[in-house]
Amino acid sequence: MSTIFSKIIAREIPARIVYEDDLCLAFHDVNPQAPVHILIIPKKEIPRVAESTSADELLLGHLLYTAQSVAKQEGLHETGFRLVINNGPDGGETVPHLHVHLLGGRPLGWPPG
Ligand code: 5GP
């Protein structure tokens, strides 16, 4: 299922892109929940992490590695940051294209709501 994120990958709608490579794209969330709120998404249309397969293992690792790399680029390595993946209705997922939220720039509460 194609989503708004596929349109961002295809440059059919604009986004503030901060990183791109062959496998993934990182861009600012349109409705930021912290001073830094960036989404890291695979170019492959995987709806959610629960629907990934063993063929996606390297890609999943690449998303995490890219997330920490973008965190460093955004100056968050010293202060810290949080990576979040929402999955399904109870997880709070609203866009069915796998994405890692990178949140930082302020202290984040725990546990989440
Ligand atoms: P989810 O709730 O699925 O974990 O996260 C989806 C995220 O995508 C939300 O934080 C939402 O603000 C963001 N989002 C939805 N539509 C757009 C869009 O068109 N552009 C950007 N940059 N972010 C979007």
Residue 43 amino acid letter? K
The pTM of this model reads: 0.98
* Catalytic option among 28, 97, 99, 101: 99
pLDDT of residue 76: 98
| Pocket of ligand 1, beta carbon within 6 A | 4, 15, 27-31, 39, 86, 92-95
Give residue for tokens 């596929």: 6
- Indicate the SS3 state at residue 66: helix
Ligand 1 centre and the CA of 54: distance in Å?
26
* pLDDT per position as a tens digit, 32-90: 999 999 999 999 999 999 999 999 999 999 999 999 999 999 999 999 999 999 999 99
Nearest to 106 by CA among 35, 39, 38, 37: 35
Which domains are seen in the chain, by residue range?
4-104 (3.30.428.10)
